[in-house]
Structure 1
């Protein structure tokens, strides 16, 4: 049985999308695991000019794991992503996400753009939903050597007006995706 990991992101200029794709590559590299790339709409727009389909509540409910990504907006997750989470009360009431593994990722235009606080704000709804939140352990060598993005809270990218990820950022994102997929597969097998 296939393990499905939703990689849910909001991206305005492409940096967070680039991280999402690397996380998805990591997920897809694990046997019997597949990544489902999804995004959220702008709050004041009904059109879809996004690279990936919009997430549905049912897709979130039925996933086996979740990677959640947002650019750092004043040290917080972007409003469109927060708006989506504000609509997940029915999942919370039913406990649909309890014990599912999750991780977070972010991008900012500067090194001190609020990456870690953004990652922490994204963790809050996940914790309230009872999800098992994971980061990147220091056993990952690139976490020690990266001079741009990458935190123990999750994958990250410093764009400085460039959406291209560094090799360290790409590797850390892929490793986070692999770790999430392995945990999702393991937890799914235990519950079945």
Structure 2
């Protein structure tokens, strides 16, 4: 059994919805399971008093989850063309995995959601790739054989699936966005088995 860790931070639910679609794609491949995990909010107050288990949604990720996974999908809303601080904060605490080379050679992909079509989606995806490259992970995106990349009027890039959530941050995923998320999940699962 191969495990694809889907690690994400979601503020308004868009990235969480994408993670669910990626999980469907992962589990469409026999003998593969999706492991959904998130990261806690951060601030000086939150870190001091936050519960160790979230009230709802996916459990918080641990370094052990990263050690045990066969592939990784990393998702975040865009923040001024960058990943959100809670996800970056967690990744900055993975130095022990970097030193031991634990993630080296494992496939990884990224996904994001922004309020607007030009909300820095591609730069957010690239910002998430940087620490994964430092870990020696093998980055995969979406090939143009995924026809939704050509026809989408909303989210979707060859760097990874994207979602346009709207100015009120509650627009549901389009059919194209769902299919592109599914495709990345399936691709990561297939790569986990091949590698």
TM-score interval for Structure 1 and Structure 2 normalised by the shorter chain: over 0.9
Matches within 5 A, 1:105-120: 105-120=111-126
> Against the structure 1 CA distance between its residues 163 and 18, is the aligned structure 2 distance closer, same or farther, given a 3 Å change threshold?
farther
Aligned to 1:67: 73
Deviation at 1:163, TM superposition (A): 3.9
Deviation at 1:49, TM superposition (A): 2.9
Query: Can you give the 5+ residue segments of structure 2 that lack an aligned partner in the other structure?
Result: none
Query: Does the residue aligned with 2:161 lie in a helix, a strand or coil?
Result: strand
CA contact (8 A) 1:18 1:163 kept: no
Establish whether residue 82 from structure 1 lines up as the match of residue 88 from structure 2. Answer: yes
Superposed CA offset, 1:155-188 (max 9, x none) = 100010324100000000001100010001111x
Matches within 5 A, 1:6-21: 6-21=5-20
Task: Identify the match of residue 180 of structure 2 among 152, 163, 172.
Answer: 172
Q: What RMSD, in angstroms, separates the aligned Cα atoms of the two structures?
A: 0.8
> Against the structure 1 CA distance between its residues 145 and 174, is the aligned structure 2 distance closer, same or farther, given a 3 Å change threshold?
same
Aligned to 2:34: 35
CA distance in 2, matches of 1:136, 1:96: 25
TM-score by structure 1 length? 0.95
Query: Can you give the 5+ residue segments of structure 1 that lack an aligned partner in the other structure?
Result: 188-192
4+ residue stretches of structure 1 with deviation over 6 A? none
Query: Does the residue aligned with 1:154 lie in a helix, a strand or coil?
Result: coil
TM-score by structure 2 length? 0.94
> Against the structure 1 CA distance between its residues 153 and 58, is the aligned structure 2 distance closer, same or farther, given a 3 Å change threshold?
same
